[in-house]
Amino acid sequence: MSRILFVCLGNICRSPTLEAVARVEFARAGLDVEVDSAGTADYHVGEPPDRRSIAAGAMHGYDLSVLRARQIVSVDFTRFDRIFAADRANLRDLERLRPECGTRPALFLGDEEVPDPYYGRDADFERVIALARQGMAALISQMRSAGH
């Protein structure tokens, strides 16, 4: 079983959205993958995702309401096979936090970032859903090509 961790700053907008989309899309694809999400900061530990993230997810069949924010911990770097950052700032933080033998993080969308919708409008949360779906389609295709 593969284990994938999605990471953003506070773990209330982007990374829980990526986690929820991943759960559904991996299941639809018939892939056995454990997914989780975390933040690099401790701003919202224990809190549910932003209400706008929950609403955007629900409109597309992704349930974020059961998720709770947590901060990344050092064991995550050995527990997860892949760690995906939403943006370059969080990627830099992950690289700084990573133990020498830990999983090397990467940007979820390759060279692109998932923009932070927190200070935006509803359309920005919808954009995160669209990017999550696009990224998951590419990841599933990559995993199938690798024989998962």
Strand, coil or helix: 8: strand
Is position 8 annotated as part of the catalytic site? yes
Give the DSSP per-residue string, 90-117.
HHHHHHHH--TTSPPPEETBTTB-----
Q: Catalytic annotation on 50? A: no
User: Of 67, 91, 83, 79, nearest to 13 (Cα)?
Assistant: 67
Residue 62 backbone phi and psi in degrees, to 5: -115, 120
Catalytic residue among 8, 23, 82, 87: 8
Q: Which of 13, 14, 70, 82 is catalytic?
A: 14
Distance CA 76, CA 72 (A): 7
14 noted as active-site residue: yes
- 3 and 79 Cβ atoms separated by less than 8 Å: yes
Instruction: Please identify which of the residues 52, 79, 116, 121 carries the catalytic annotation.
Output: 116
User: What positions carry a catalytic annotation?
Assistant: 8, 14, 116
